[in-house]
Amino acid sequence: MTDIKSLTISELEFEMKSLALPSFRAKQIYKWLHVQGVMSFDGMLNLPKKLRESLKENYFIPSCDIEEKYVSALDGTVKYLFRLYDGEYIETVVMKYSYGYTICVSSQVGCKMGCTFCASTLAGFKRNLLPSELEGQIHCAQNDLGVRISHIVLMGIGEPLDNYGNVIKFLHTVNDKNGLNISMRDITVSTCGIVPRIYDLINEKIPVTLTLSLHAPDDKLRSAMMPVNEKWGVKEVVKACRAYAENTSRRVSFEYTLIKGVNDTPECAKKLAALLKGFISHVNLIPVNDVAERGNVKPSENAVKNFQFALKKLGINATIRRTLGSDINASCGQLRRIKNNNSQNGGDTSENSC
Ligand code: SAH
């Protein structure tokens, strides 16, 4: 069975031709799949029943069902645990800002990257998400909430550049005027720093915003926190980000998760400022979300502000990430982990998110 939702319009036209159907059927189906986001062939109301039956025999639409949903009483942030067609779980968060709704999508079921502070790796890597499953998170949330989502961040479970081909196909699909029509400029791809794929992304010539999860200003510290750094060190990855900024004229952002006593020292601020000197970039400071098994501690509010101030004094623009959905543990990784633990051990009490 072919995943019909991951086909481009020309691939779909080709498929319709092979079923001896006119190309306008492809356009109708494409609209149902990508504008309305229907999850069943029976929902394609302007198609003859016979055609719907024949589609069911040849294709499938990967499902995305709401397993759990949490709404923040503080700011309306919504967090979903979605169940996929093969029974795997992913997490997706929708946040409301003054400019519209932003969705944080997962790119993989689990993650291989092994960052020591992150919950996503703990439940293990299972598989890449299909382009249709990346997009399905948007349709499922939009249809549930009855709103239009205008911005996308690839900051959920998984490493987007480790699922490169499917992510690129997804970006083109959501950008398509005959689909969700979301501007590339309103999409952010966050990476732990897979350097060759950053250069590939430059060659795609699509103006998405790139965010690097930097978290440490030197190799010793970064390698201890992020195994990917053993392969591509701090200087190499920042060089790739500079190339991204120069080639796309897009400002690159750096995520810096602050962990008490680990990377929040004045020495770290100094090294970070030296590393990013002369780079028109932006640093997002995120006090770490404690993950029970990880044992990392959030610095005090004052310590976070001191770090920000130290960077500003050295000419580096930094903001402290506003926490949304703090009452529903909105950052990713923990719901899937709890769900998996529950099905394995019949119960889990661990709290805290990535
Ligand atoms: N793999 C991608 C995207 C997913 S993680 C990446 O590394 O960028 C999204 C962001 O959340 C990353 O910056 C990641 O480092 C950060 N993050 C993960 N666990 C966290 C935690 N416990 N506290 C704060 N931020 C965390």
Q: What was the pLDDT predicted at 347?
A: 33
Residue nearest to atom 7 of ligand 1 (CA): 192
> Residue 337 — pLDDT band, cuts 50, 70, 90?
confident
Separation of CA 172 and ligand 1 centre (Å): 24
**CA distances to 125, 131, 263, 306 from 216, in Å:** 24, 32, 6, 17
Is the CB of 153 within 6 Å of ligand 1? no
From the candidates 91, 133, 159, 255, give the one annotated as an active-site residue. 91
Ramachandran category for residue 303: left, alpha or beta (phi over 0 → left; psi -120 to 50 → alpha): alpha
Is the CB of 159 within 6 Å of ligand 1? yes
pLDDT tens, position by position, 286-299: 999 877 677 889 99
Residue nearest to atom 4 of ligand 1 (CA): 155
Separation of CA 326 and ligand 1 centre (Å): 16
Residue 55 to residue 45: CA distance in whole angstroms: 13
pLDDT tens, position by position, 227-269: 999 999 999 999 999 999 999 999 999 999 999 999 999 999 9
Q: What was the pLDDT predicted at 344?
A: 58
Residue 353 has pLDDT above 50, yes or no: no
67 flagged as catalytic: no
Is the CB of 334 within 6 Å of ligand 1? no
Residues contacting 236, CB < 8 A, separation 6+: 195
Alpha helices of the chain — where are they, by DSSP H? 9-18, 23-31, 49-58, 131-145, 164-175, 195-204, 219-225, 234-248, 266-275, 301-313, 334-345
Q: Is the pTM of this model over 0.85?
A: yes
Is the CB of 320 within 6 Å of ligand 1? no
